Amino acid sequence: ERQTPLPGLYAAGECACVSVHGANRLGGNALLEGIVFGKRTGAAAAAYARKKTQIAGGADALAAEEKRVEWLLRAEGKENVESLRRELKQILWDKVGIYRSEAAMTLAVSAVRDLKRRYPHIAVGAKGKRFNYALLEGIELRNMLDVAETVAVGALARRESRGAHSRTDYPARDDANWLKHTLAWLRGGKVELTYEPVRITQWQPKERTY
């Protein structure tokens, strides 16, 4: 199980950096990791919750999210949620796919940030709170934009090829500089990267054979 730096928040799967499968997340490996460590993480989170009554700042965070939802319900901008989502998908497909380059990913980061600037001008359309899928899509779009920027910024910084991250301009794996996990933080509206060492126990990392 993995407790994050945020008290009470636990992670399971690829985002927890348990490193069961190394950099290879292909072929359903992440599903196995999610099932096994999801069970352990759930039990750890439940044990934590039983010992705590209220996380400091939780009420403020809830109020902020409620305010964001109310804003989305009232928003009457000219941007369409589905159109922005389609643009985001195309940007990532074309420029941050399996085969990546510095030039393409630089353009992708800029394009995703432009979409984030356009996001405040969306219109959800539906006003109700029950079964409002348009509202859910509006919320999900902002989350997608944050994740897309994180992926693109992290991949742009990693100047090597590893697992499914294949740089056409840096085709070799570089353990001397990049045998480490990338951690992304959203601070002041900007993505900041830090790194954490990989914990190697019984098996050393091997070269790709495919």
Which tens digits make up the pLDDT trace of 63-105? Answer: 999 999 999 999 999 999 999 999 999 999 999 998 999 999 9
Q: pTM value?
A: 0.85
Q: What is the mean pLDDT of the chain?
A: 89
Neighbours of 92 (CB within 10 A): 18
| DSSP-derived secondary structure for 47-83 | HHHHH-S--TTHHHHHHHHHHHHHHHHH---SB-HHH
Degrees to nearest 5, angle at CA 199 with 158 and 192? 35
Q: Which two tokens stand for residue 129?
A: 């709170």
pLDDT of residue 28: 62
Closest CA to 163 of 179, 184, 146: 179
Mean pLDDT by 10 residues, the chain (210 residues): 80 77 65 85 92 81 92 94 97 95 98 97 90 94 96 97 92 94 90 91 68
Neighbours of 10 (CB within 10 A): 20
Q: Which two tokens stand for residue 197?
A: 């060492």
Largest CA distance in the chain: 57
